[in-house]
Amino acid sequence: MTSGSATHPDPRPDRIAIIGPGAIGTTIAAVLHERGHTPFVAGRTAAPALRLESEQGAVDAPGPVHTDPGTVEHPVDLVFLAVKATQTTAAAPWLSALCGERTVVCVLQNGVEQIAAVQPLVPGTVVPAVVWFPAVRESATTVRLRAAPRLTLPDVPDARSVQAALSGTRCAVELTDDFTTVAWRKLLQNAAAGLMALTGRRSGMFQRDDVAALTRDYLAECLAVARAEGAALDRDDCERILAGFRSAPADLGTSILADREAGRPLEWDVRNGVIRRRGQAHGIATPISDAVATLLAATSDGPG
């Protein structure tokens, strides 16, 4: 699941960078700073500092947030790419400036296609990650963390650089020898959450029996594609995902809904369109996925 297998030394604390100081990037920056490893932070908008708030208290990670890739003097050991998948191409100048042949890029994005999307932009190694913590942006520089941060990575040598960098921080890093299954399980959850962006409603809508039935059928389509891709998932996984939505607080949202509410482009392609693409590759019919992806694309791009 990763390109290359060279063993990299543990990243030096002063040679870690984060691209994208959004909810996920700010969380990683703050937990690193809290441990005494303040990273270089790159973004589109300058800021003097970043703030993470949680039940464990607030952490102020000193900036600045850098906005000019031309100011980078040398490659770093480890880059956390925390921009949304829709912003990967825009982040290419930063990846070019910060990455050398021995740089490990840990991709903190939704989907199952991180390597295919990012590897052409960097000379080093790309390691995908599944992000398991809810964090929301409350202002341009403040993020609220709602649960303990956790990442899952494939159990490959290059992933151990990420694990070493976050060792001793509040962010747990788990390595798995079946990353395909973990990544597709999260994708099924994200795909179903796309229905919230279509309706403009929050988790409470899944308590409707008709919405639950539609979600169950949609997840069954996604499951067929996931299994064809090698994921060891079954119907029980789909039921657990649906049960999670139905038992969640009625006002709980999701990032793709937040993007719709803010008028931002949606990550519909990596979360929902991928089901259609991979289904076609395996000769699996996905009529619900086809409709959902089309409607999400129109929701994201217009016109109208």
Q: Report residue 170 as tokens.
A: 């509040």
Write the CB contacts of 15 (distance below 8 Å, at least 6 apart in sequence). 76, 77, 78
The C-alpha atoms of residue 162 and residue 178 are separated, in whole angstroms, by 18
The C-alpha atoms of residue 167 and residue 163 are separated, in whole angstroms, by 6
The C-alpha atoms of residue 291 and residue 288 are separated, in whole angstroms, by 5
Asked if pLDDT for residue 170 goes beyond 80, the answer is yes
pTM for this structure? Answer: 0.92
pLDDT at 134 (0 to 100):
85
Would you please indicate which residues are annotated as catalytic (active-site) residues?
186
pLDDT at 159 (0 to 100):
97
Asked if pLDDT for residue 86 goes beyond 90, the answer is yes
Q: Residue 176 — φ and ψ, nearest 5°? A: -130, 145
Q: What is the pLDDT of residues 198-252, one digit of tens each?
A: 999 999 999 999 999 999 999 999 999 999 999 999 999 999 999 999 999 999 8
Asked if pLDDT for residue 272 goes beyond 50, the answer is yes
pLDDT at 205 (0 to 100):
98
Q: What is the pLDDT of residues 94-126, one digit of tens each?
A: 999 999 999 999 999 999 999 999 999 999 999
The C-alpha atoms of residue 148 and residue 135 are separated, in whole angstroms, by 10
Q: Please, which pLDDT band fits residue 2 given cuts at 50, 70 and 90?
A: very low
The C-alpha atoms of residue 127 and residue 158 are separated, in whole angstroms, by 7
- Sheet with 150-154, side-by-side order of all strands: 130-131, 150-154, 172-176
Q: Please, which pLDDT band fits residue 146 given cuts at 50, 70 and 90?
A: confident
The C-alpha atoms of residue 299 and residue 304 are separated, in whole angstroms, by 9
- Sheet with 59-66, side-by-side order of all strands: 125-128, 104-107, 78-81, 16-19, 40-42, 59-66, 47-53, 142-145, 135-137
Question: Beta strands of the chain (E only): which ranges?
Answer: 16-19, 40-42, 47-53, 59-66, 78-81, 104-107, 125-128, 130-131, 135-137, 142-145, 150-154, 172-176
The C-alpha atoms of residue 170 and residue 242 are separated, in whole angstroms, by 29
pLDDT at 7 (0 to 100):
56
Asked if pLDDT for residue 4 goes beyond 50, the answer is no
Which of 289, 283, 287, 269 is CA-nearest to residue 112?
269
Write the CB contacts of 209 (distance below 8 Å, at least 6 apart in sequence). none
Q: Please, which pLDDT band fits residue 302 given cuts at 50, 70 and 90?
A: confident
pLDDT at 3 (0 to 100):
44
pLDDT at 11 (0 to 100):
78
pLDDT at 25 (0 to 100):
96
Asked if pLDDT for residue 42 goes beyond 60, the answer is yes
